Amino acid sequence: GAVVSQHPSRVICKSGTSVKIECRSLDFQATTMFWYRQFPKKSLMLMATSNEGSKATYEQGVEKDKFLINHASLTLSTLTVTSAHPEDSSFYICSATPLAGYNEQFFGPGTRLTVL
């Protein structure tokens, strides 16, 4: 099946620093990737839709200047949490689909961000 990787899997940083999370589709090309956020014992909330070669589409309430998304190639999207604060601590998961239309999405293993 299609494989999506994320790096790093876990990061601990100090308040005020910026953290970059990478999402890669390893064996397929993805014109669209999605970024979700998950709090402990909660469901996934869509943050933004990342489009290759164009600006990301952010969900209501998600600060685009806070969560910078870059989709520079068909296999890589990055999420940068700028000036991180403790309330940004969460589990961030990306997903991608190799096909057009509505099909199953393949999820990365997630990145656990802890901001001290």
Chain residues that interact with another protein, rule: CB under 8 A? 6, 32, 34, 36, 41-46, 49, 91, 93, 95, 97, 101-110, 112
Pairwise CA distance, residues 79 & 68, whole Å: 6
> Which strand (E) or helix (H) includes residue 98?
none
CB of 116 to another protein, least distance (A): 19
Q: Which of 54, 43, 48, 34 shows the shortest CA–CA distance to 105? A: 34
CB of 115 to another protein, least distance (A): 17
CB of 82 to another protein, least distance (A): 23
Rounded to 5 degrees, φ, ψ at 88 are -85, -10
Residue 66 or residue 112: which is nearer to another protein going by CB? 112
Residue 6 or residue 77: which is nearer to another protein going by CB? 6
Residue 16 or residue 55: which is nearer to another protein going by CB? 55
Q: What b/e readout covers 64-99, taking b as 16+ CB neighbours within 10 angstroms?
A: eeebbbebeebbbbbbebeebeeebbbbbbbbbbee
CB of 96 to another protein, least distance (A): 11
Residue 16 or residue 99: which is nearer to another protein going by CB? 99
Is the distance from CB of 49 to CB of 57 less than 8 angstroms?
A: yes
